[in-house]
Structure 1
Amino acid sequence: MMLHNSIRLLNKTCRLPPRQLYQLVAFEQQQNQHLVKKREYSTAGIMEKFDLPQRLQGSAPSVWNEYIALAMEYKPLNLGQGFPDDAAPEYVTKALAEIANDENPLLQQYTRGFGHMRLVQAIGKLYSKLLQREINPLNEVLVTSGAYEALYSAIMGHVDVGDEVIIIEPFFDCYHPMVKMAGGVSRFIPLKPTKTEGTISSADWVLDEQELKNMFNSKTKMIILNTPHNPIGKVFKQKELELIAELCKKWNVLCLSDEVYEWMVFDGNKHIRICTLPDMWERTITIGSAGKTFSVTGWKTGWAYGPANLIRNLQMVHQNSVYTCATPLQEAVARGFELEMTRLDSPECFFNSLPRELQVKRDFMAKFLQDAGMKPTIPEGGYFMLADWTNLEKKININSEPDKYRDYKFTKWMTKNMGLQGIPPSAFYSDEHKHLGEDFVRYCFIKKQANLEKASELLEKLKNN
């Protein structure tokens, strides 16, 4: 049909014999088809050439992207994401406002790449006191774009292709993808509860000692420790840390210690920094966060400290990716540290008042979760709480959600139908161990009291259905 139409059109504009017209149009159409095919081949070649690189393939979609989109659509009470919904300490935000209007123009420009001098000096001074050893702020401290970048720089800077990295489950979900990007091999070991009835504490979640010993071998480069732990809230005890330390020394393994919740410890528990154990300073990189320390998660300012030879590797990654972090934010965090160091032993110190406030919120959440029929694990630290939700299964229809894992079904059903959002803990497990997280939900309790009370009311409503 198209060929005949083309012939009629040409016949109106030029006088050629019909046979020649037919041959001309047929030739043009053949050329057009060739160009289309060539374009298709070219597009396919372009698409194939720009596929996701092999080192990035196989990583699961981020639970945060999925659940942020869910929250934007359904606008639930968000107890899923780990950020405060109340004001940060006034002296910290006021400092930033003052810096923005400071007469010193250099406070608005690039600062030292490995950390603003005022901040690295403050960090060095603080941890020198806490660790009872002198920390050199110039080569034993690195300021990063959040603790996230500190983790990334540590893993990329120390893990080589084929190196094994031990990851304790459940884990902050970026650990494994970062190891994979570095060419490393993740080896997973889960914390498991030793009891399922009665009041359950995060201390009841433990590693199997023999299983942990079996994880270490000549290929092991690193173990990632998170204490206080997210999402369980476990504060690792002296004996547990000593076992990890002995294995690190025996196999010459680096310990990457994620301690961003270091100030949030409850019930008289004590946060022990593994780098203070005998012969562990020289094999430990410790990570901290201004976002968690001062309740300013949007500032994305973190740090790593450790021996100069280990921090040097992080500096190499940092200088060739991030280069330098925001000067005004670093200056404000430094001023915050300087103030708090003058009152470290005082009840007014934010590092001391915050855990007191959080413990009240923790206890309130634990009670309303129990009243609703859930079984919470009472955290010793951090600001997250895991709860077994399976007693509520008869009251809801999780099968209306198409997801593979039950905790995803539960949290999505609750978001859509009850207006309360939590996070599915199976997102913090390897594929082989995801079933260990399916009966739980993670909630965050560093929220306004009014919002915690609203969550209580929503669960009471579900209970009475």
Structure 2
Amino acid sequence: MSRQLHARRIEGIDKNVWVEFTQLAAEYKAVNLGQGFPDFPPPSFVQEAFCKAVSGGFALHQYTRAFGHPPLVKILAKFFGRIVGRDIDPLDDILVTVGAYQALFCTFQALIDDGDEVIIIEPFFDCYQPMVKMAGGKCVYVPLRPKKDKCETSADWVLSPGELASKFTSHTKAIILNTPNNPLGKVFNREELQVISDLCIKHDVLCISDEVYEWLTYNGAKHIKIASLPGMWERTITIGSAGKTFSATGWKVGWAIGSTHILKHLRTVHQNSVYHCPTAAQEAVAHGFQREFEQFGKPESYFIQLPANLQVKRQKLAQCLKSVGLQPIIPEGGYFMMADISAIKANLPDLPGQDEPYDHRFVKWLIKNKRLATIPVSAFYSHEHCKDFPNYIRFCFAKVNLSGYWSQV
């Protein structure tokens, strides 16, 4: 690839909403409910496993298998094989990566070629768009839209099957699914997944399924892996995260799971970029999954305790938002809650750069005047659709009790 072509590909995607608003939050010493990580520690059993790994002698301080520490890929295969109802080969069907982020990067670099179209469901985690473009692909967007009669929960935001079908062409290579969705918190139900599945099979399209929040579902919402649907294992790359699974985002252990005829291409990108992931962190995550395999479905399971605790925090945040005139969209899953800000009459000054979205300006006002940091939701939309959703901001509720703060807002 020429340097000029590469420069054109990355032009306009160097800006990062996390850098901009995190710096602003730090400057104004704001309470930061923008970034998506918890402020509580991982469970004691994985912390102890990590300590044991780093104090356990020579081997765990050195390189392990480049595509995944053997104990980790073996338990991941055993654990998720039970969920999808098939045998998963630990050495061929799993790639361990530096967080889910690198798993996504390997996927796009390995599977998307120049001119390939990739369908992205909006709102979307913001890295999908630049990663597709860096691989030479073309982003095609289809938004979830709120039902006209109500918009109280993330379940009220739906895809139009006809609109989605219209986006599939002879150039479509893949569709990106994020369930539970960031930032909305939508958990796609079986019927919605079946619509996507049928279109993927009909058009021979790959499905890149980002499922990092798979254990965080509330009020009976059930996470279903699209790879478990008939005909989808052979065409799905499932992305997962130990950071979200065990509340240890700084450990940066992620994975991609799929058929070896797909995963072999991801391995090529991985071995020629980061090559290897930290051994001790993988060892600790392996112990965590082994413990959860044995406790699966029991009250002692962390995968049951964590969402129960977060559901309480979710409800508290919703009550706080309502108390100051914001309208929360109650999420079915994940770390995040969107809120409608249209009822708040903020005194936004007329400044240069008025072409930036209203929610961006509102969040800057919120940080500077109320010392509260959030993320504007238009950052999770394409340019063609962001103007249709100007009145939403995103909060992270995986935090401590901040109820006392809201009396000051």
**TM-score exceeds 0.5:** yes
How far 1:60 sits from its partner (Å)?
Answer: 5.2
Unpaired segments ≥5 residues, structure 2: none
Task: Say which of 450, 456, 461 aligns to 2:406.
Answer: 456
Structure 1: tracts of 5 or more residues without a match: 1-48, 460-465
Partner of 1:57: 11
Q: Which residue of 2 aligns with 1:281?
A: 233
Partner of 1:257: 209
2:408 alignment partner AA: L
Q: Where in structure 2 are the equivalents of 1:230-241 lying within 5 Å?
A: 230-241=182-193
Deviations 1:125-178 (A, max 9, x none): 110111111111000000000000001111111011010000001110010101
Of 331, 334, 358, the residue aligned with 1:382 is: 334
**Is 1:333 aligned with 2:285?**
yes
CA distance in 1, matches of 2:33, 2:279: 32
Decide whether the 8 Å contact of 1:165 with 1:179 is kept in 2.
yes
From 348, 351, 355, the counterpart of 1:397: 348
Aligned to 1:71: 25
Q: Write 1 or 2 for the structure with the bigger share of helix.
A: 1
Take 1:352 and 1:83, find their aligned partners in 2: how far apart are those partners? 19
Amino acid of the structure 1 residue aligned with 2:347: I
Measure, in 1, the Cα distance between the counterparts of 2:102 and 2:60. Answer: 22
CA contact (8 A) 1:420 1:458 kept: no
- The counterpart of 2:139, out of the listed 186, 200, 210, is 186
Query: What percent of counterpart residues are identical?
Result: 50
Contact 1:288-1:302 within 8 A present in 2 as well: yes
Matched, 1:290 2:290: no
Residues 399/195 of structure 1: CA separation in 2 closer, same or farther (3 Å cut): farther
* CA offset digits 1:360-417 (Å, max 9, x no partner): 1111111111121111111001110000011112x43354584511111111111111
Paired position in structure 2 for 1:422: 374
Alignment partners' CA distance in 2, 1:227 and 1:243: 15
TM-score norm. by structure 2 comes to 0.96
| Distance of aligned partners of 1:286 and 1:312 in 2 relative to their CA distance in 1, 3 Å threshold | same
8 Å Cα contact 1:401/1:409 also seen in 2: no
Moved over 3 A (4+): 49-52, 398-403
Instruction: Tell me, in whole angstroms, the C-alpha distance in 2 between the residues paired with 1:228 and 1:324.
Output: 28
Cα distance between partner residues in 2 of 1:154 and 1:388 = 34
Q: How does 1:19-418 map to 2 (within 5 A)?
A: 53-59=7-13, 61-103=15-57, 105-195=58-148, 200-393=152-345, 395-397=346-348, 399=350, 402=353, 404-418=356-370
Number of aligned positions between the proteins: 406
**Is the Cα–Cα contact under 8 Å of residues 232 and 385 in structure 1 kept in the other structure?**
yes
Tell me the TM-score normalized by structure 1. Answer: 0.85
Deviations 1:98-129 (A, max 9, x none): 211112x0100111000000110111111011
Cα distance, 1:243 vs. partner? 0.5
In 2, the alpha carbon distance for the partners of 1:125 and 1:455 equals 45
Tell me how far apart the structure 2 counterparts of residues 369 and 401 of structure 1 sit (CA, whole Å). Answer: 30
Match of 1:22 in 2: none
Structure with greater Cα Rg: 1
Partners of 1:200 and 1:178 lie apart in 2 by 32
Equivalent-residue separation in structure 1 for 2:349 and 2:257 (angstroms): 45
Amino acid at match of 1:456: W
CA distance in 2, matches of 1:454, 1:307: 50
- Measured after TM superposition, the shift of residue 248 of structure 1 is 0.2
Tell me: CA distance 1:439–1:345, structure 2 relative to 1, closer, same or farther (3 Å).
same
Evaluate the alpha carbon distance shift between residue 330 and residue 401 of structure 1 in structure 2; reply closer, same or farther with a 3 A threshold. Answer: farther
User: Root-mean-square deviation (CA), in Å?
Assistant: 1.6
C-alpha deviation, 1:438, in angstroms: 1.6
2:193 and 2:375 mapped to 1: Cα distance?
28
Q: Deviations over 1:56-106 (max 9, x none)?
A: 113250101111211221111000000001122122122212211112x01
By how many angstroms is 1:196 displaced? Answer: 6.5
The structural deviation recorded for 1:353 is 0.6
SS of match in other structure, 1:187: strand
Residues 220-245 of structure 1, C-alpha deviations (whole Å, 9 max, x = no match): 00000000110000000111110100
Cα distance in structure 1, aligned partners of 2:249 and 2:181: 18
